[in-house]
Amino acid sequence: MTRYFEELEPPEGVRAELLRGVIVMMTSSGIVHNVIVARVQDQIPRQRWSRLQTQDVDILDEASEPVPDLIVLGRDLLPESGRLLSCRLITMVVEVVSKSSVHQDYVTKRSIYAAGKIPVYLVLDPIMAQCVLLTKPTGQGEEADYLTQEIVKFGDRLPLEALGIELDTSEFGTFSGVRPHRYP
């Protein structure tokens, strides 16, 4: 499946990810989503960190190549080229929840990123107006998870110790008219 996925060319405006051997396609992101990603990226100092949007990630020992909304890694760790970025280089991944990605972001990607030993997974949820900070990955495969979980409402500050910053969430937008969900 990985070889087929590498040769896949989705139509314009469609993004594809490989999640545990399943190809998942999604449409382009909306304004609320993109503004949240931009506001997070703007708060992460570029002097110390590389901030990449929609970069394919190689999760070792997994048939997965997720495409997080934002990846953060040390500036000195950024490779010069390539399509896939090794999960071993990444300090934090960020996913912004959409109406169609709730289960993937809260369940599937949570275990995939934990299996890849990515130290910090930040879920930003404009449906529930909350941030879910996951740290301390443990386990393997579908049983992998994060040992710590902190939930902060939009509007509050979120300490991101791994990056040495405090994230201001006061300007994160929300979706209106979207049915609430039961996650995390």
Closest CA to 106 of 92, 96, 91: 96
pLDDT digits (tens, 9 = 90+) for 7-49: 667 667 667 778 887 778 777 778 999 999 999 999 999 999 9
Per-domain residue ranges for the chain?
A: 29-168
Cis peptide leading into residue 184 (ω within 30°) = yes
pLDDT digits (tens, 9 = 90+) for 72-108: 999 999 888 888 999 999 999 999 999 989 999 999 9
Residue 124 and residue 114: Cα distance in Å, rounded? 17
Look at the domain 29-168 and name its fold: tt1808, chain A (3.90.1570)
Would you state the structure tokens that stand for residue 134, as one six-digit string?
């996951």
Strand-strand pairing, 92-96 and 70-74: antiparallel
The secondary structure element, H or E, covering residue 103 is helix 102-103
